[in-house]
């Protein structure tokens, strides 16, 4: 296996916080969030204790897929501000010990990108994957004078950049080798884009659809080759930055050069479902089979943490010290933690689990106050992918306080409607209440970042893999999580004293751990 420079030391202590910029804070009253809005709220992030922010794409775009359809990689979308505003955000964040990652959309552009317009006029242009005639399966008809059709990567208006095919075939001329002229130009372009923003001071990138580059690459070996090349370049030119992939398979993504990869909701046991009880299905596909999954966080107690624990164990053993697994609470594509009538009470236990498990936690904006997933919203910027897959519900405005639009914007037309519920949570109300979820999350983040045993490098020993879920970190910190509504207990052999660091409803006595419904606890065994 190719060896890389070890990940920068700061990554092991990272607590990520994802900002969907449209919805975080609108400083100029146009209804859409912006960089200055984020900068104005950095004190919230600093108070919360998160130290690495990642921001969804913020570049020039027609915004038919919320900015994942880029028309100019090197220019900030005016609605978010200017290069100077981003530089100020990075600088102000840095003063608070917070790093900023941008989103690198590597596999496709918007069909409004000048590269695509040029390609649609020029049969000798190979930046995209273009069938000279006809329309092979999955291709989209040429919009320009150039005949034939092109391959999209996600929506039809997101043409796939040409990084070649793992199995080229001269009989199908669009299946070019990975070292053909078009793929080489695109690899160079990725480096130019990354270098451009790294020079402004960002600390790396979350990489969109990172596994999608080379086509017909079942083992992903050719796609990995591209990322390995980029990682070697970064190791030399920008050794302090990180690449965080949206791949969903750390065992493949980390050897491919990523410093860390998300466990994502793409189906299979590694999909982060330990944190979910609703709005996920078994196959990971979005279809009529969509139904609740009996995951560990099922409030009725039908789940088991084992599929998750085993998937984590496998990936973690394969990775060793070569990289990290990241575990998000949610993201802009999938439902928030608080996504159903049964989930609100589970949030404290879910955060105790997420912030004490040996993965890198990523908090999706608003999850720290338990913002709700809002069902049935109309489409905004490509958010609705089908009747059962509505991403808008996870993208509603951040709820800061009780003023207009929950303090998100003074506009009469906010980007998406604010949660209409009269008792919607807000940052202001929860800051004033030390028993709130927000305060709990803050204390847990502080506990984690101040306790190396709770980080990704500390050992974990599962002591009970049912309800309650019980594990020991670093041979010293006992974690008890009972995400179901009923009380649960399990035997506990140790007799030494336990100092509670954070607990609600957990009792350790007479060789038994008893946890009330939705109870949780972190204890210091002091060994």
Contacts with ligand BGC by CB under 6 A lie at: 65, 68, 105, 154, 208-209, 246, 332-333
Write the CB contacts of 264 (distance below 8 Å, at least 6 apart in sequence). 246, 247, 248, 271, 272, 328, 331, 334
Pick 70 or 86: Cβ nearer ligand BGC: 70
**Which helix H or strand E contains 431, and what residues bound it?**
helix 427-431
The CA–CA distances, whole Å, from 98 to 14, 15, 212, 494 equal: 10, 10, 30, 40
The CA–CA distances, whole Å, from 311 to 31, 59, 135, 306, 340 equal: 42, 36, 40, 8, 26
Measured CA to CA, the distance from residue 480 to residue 478 in angstroms comes to 7
Pick 208 or 419: Cβ nearer ligand BGC: 208
Pick 68 or 116: Cβ nearer ligand BGC: 68
Pick 283 or 403: Cβ nearer ligand BGC: 283
From 360, 326, 335, 304, select the one nearest 483 (Cα to Cα): 304
| CA 278 remoteness from chain centre | 18
Pick 30 or 333: Cβ nearer ligand BGC: 333
Pick 215 or 448: Cβ nearer ligand BGC: 215
Pick 55 or 209: Cβ nearer ligand BGC: 209
Measured CA to CA, the distance from residue 322 to residue 25 in angstroms comes to 37
Closest distance between ligand BGC and the C-beta of residue 115, in Å?
16
Closest distance between ligand BGC and the C-beta of residue 323, in Å?
20
Pick 85 or 208: Cβ nearer ligand BGC: 208
The CA–CA distances, whole Å, from 169 to 165, 217, 237, 329, 437 equal: 9, 13, 36, 42, 56
Pick 103 or 251: Cβ nearer ligand BGC: 103
Measured CA to CA, the distance from residue 99 to residue 16 in angstroms comes to 9
Closest distance between ligand BGC and the C-beta of residue 69, in Å?
7
Closest distance between ligand BGC and the C-beta of residue 389, in Å?
11
Closest distance between ligand BGC and the C-beta of residue 468, in Å?
34
Contacts of the segment 449-455: beta carbons below 8 A, 24+ positions apart: 449/13, 449/15, 449/49, 449/51, 451/477, 453/477, 454/355, 454/356, 455/12, 455/13, 455/358
Pick 16 or 492: Cβ nearer ligand BGC: 16
Contact 228, 2 (CB under 8 A): yes
Measured CA to CA, the distance from residue 135 to residue 253 in angstroms comes to 32
**Which helix H or strand E contains 184, and what residues bound it?**
helix 181-198
From 211, 108, 232, select the one nearest 166 (Cα to Cα): 211
Measured CA to CA, the distance from residue 44 to residue 322 in angstroms comes to 32
Closest distance between ligand BGC and the C-beta of residue 101, in Å?
14
Closest distance between ligand BGC and the C-beta of residue 65, in Å?
5
Pick 92 or 333: Cβ nearer ligand BGC: 333
Pick 335 or 484: Cβ nearer ligand BGC: 335
Closest distance between ligand BGC and the C-beta of residue 202, in Å?
18
Closest distance between ligand BGC and the C-beta of residue 246, in Å?
5
Closest distance between ligand BGC and the C-beta of residue 385, in Å?
8
| CB-closest chain residue to ligand BGC | 68
Looking at residue 124, the DSSP 8-state letter turns out to be T
Sort strands 242-245 and 488-491 into parallel, antiparallel or unpaired. unpaired
Closest distance between ligand BGC and the C-beta of residue 406, in Å?
23
Closest distance between ligand BGC and the C-beta of residue 192, in Å?
20
User: 3-class DSSP state for residue 179?
Assistant: coil
Residue 484: φ, ψ to 5°: -100, 165
Residues 443, 446, 449, CA angle at the centre, nearest 5°? 150
């Amino acid at each position: 296996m190719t060896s890389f420079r070890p990940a920068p030391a700061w990554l092991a202590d990272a607590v990520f916080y994802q900002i969907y910029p449209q919805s975080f804070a609108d400083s100029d009253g146009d209804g859409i969030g912006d960089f200055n809005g984020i900068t104005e709220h950095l004190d919230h992030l600093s108070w919360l204790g998160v130290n690495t922010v990642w921001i969804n794409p913020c570049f020039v775009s027609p915004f038919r897929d919320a900015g994942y359809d880029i028309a100019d990689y090197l220019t900030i979308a005016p609605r978010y501000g200017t290069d100077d505003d981003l530089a100020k955000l990075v600088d102000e964040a840095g003063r608070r010990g917070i790093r900023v990652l941008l989103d690198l959309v590597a596999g496709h552009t918007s069909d409004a990108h000048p590269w695509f317009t040029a390609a649609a006029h020029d049969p000798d242009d190979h930046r995209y994957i273009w069938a000279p005639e006809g329309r092979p399966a999955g291709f989209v008809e040429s919009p320009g004078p150039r005949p034939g059709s092109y391959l999209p990567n996600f929506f039809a208006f997101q043409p796939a950049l040409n990084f070649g095919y793992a199995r080229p075939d001269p009989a199908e001329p669009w299946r070019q080798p990975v070292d053909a002229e078009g793929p080489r130009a695109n690899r160079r372009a990725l480096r130019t884009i990354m270098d451009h923003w790294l020079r402004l001071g960002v600390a790396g990138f979350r990489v969109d659809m990172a596994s999608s580059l080379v086509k017909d690459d079942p083992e992903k070996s050719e796609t990995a080759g591209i990322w390995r090349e980029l990682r070697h370049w970064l190791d030399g030119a920008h050794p302090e930055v990180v690449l965080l992939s949206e791949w969903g398979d750390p065992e493949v993504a980390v050897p491919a050069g990523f410093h860390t990869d998300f466990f994502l909701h793409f189906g299979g046991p590694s999909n982060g479902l330990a944190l979910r009880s609703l709005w996920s299905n078994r196959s990971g596909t979005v279809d009529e089979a969509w139904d609740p999954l009996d995951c560990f966080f099922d409030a009725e107690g039908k789940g088991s943490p084992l599929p998750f624990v085993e998937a984590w164990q496998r990936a973690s053993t394969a990775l060793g010290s070569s990289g990290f697994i990241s575990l998000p609470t949610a993201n802009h594509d999938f439902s928030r933690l608080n996504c159903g009538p049964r989930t609100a009470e589970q949030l404290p236990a879910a955060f105790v689990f997420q912030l004490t498990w040996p993965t890198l936690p990523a908090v999706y904006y608003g999850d720290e106050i338990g913002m709700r997933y809002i069902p049935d919203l109309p489409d905004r910027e490509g958010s609705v992918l089908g009747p059962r897959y509505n991403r808008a519900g996870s993208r509603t405005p951040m709820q800061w306080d009780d003023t207009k639009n929950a303090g998100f914007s003074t506009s009469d037309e906010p980007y998406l409607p604010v949660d209409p519920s009269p008792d919607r949570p807000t940052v202001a109300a929860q800051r004033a209440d030390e028993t709130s979820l927000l305060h709990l999350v803050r204390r847990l983040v502080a506990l984690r970042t101040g306790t190396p045993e709770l980080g990704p490098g500390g050992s974990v020993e599962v002591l009970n893999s049912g309800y309650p879920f019980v594990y020991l970190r670093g041979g010293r910190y006992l974690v008890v999580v009972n995400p179901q509504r009923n009380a649960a207990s399990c035997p506990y052999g140790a007799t030494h004293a336990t100092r509670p660091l954070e607990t609600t409803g957990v009792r350790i006595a007479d060789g038994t751990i008893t946890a009330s419904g939705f109870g949780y606890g972190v204890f210091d065994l002091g060994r």
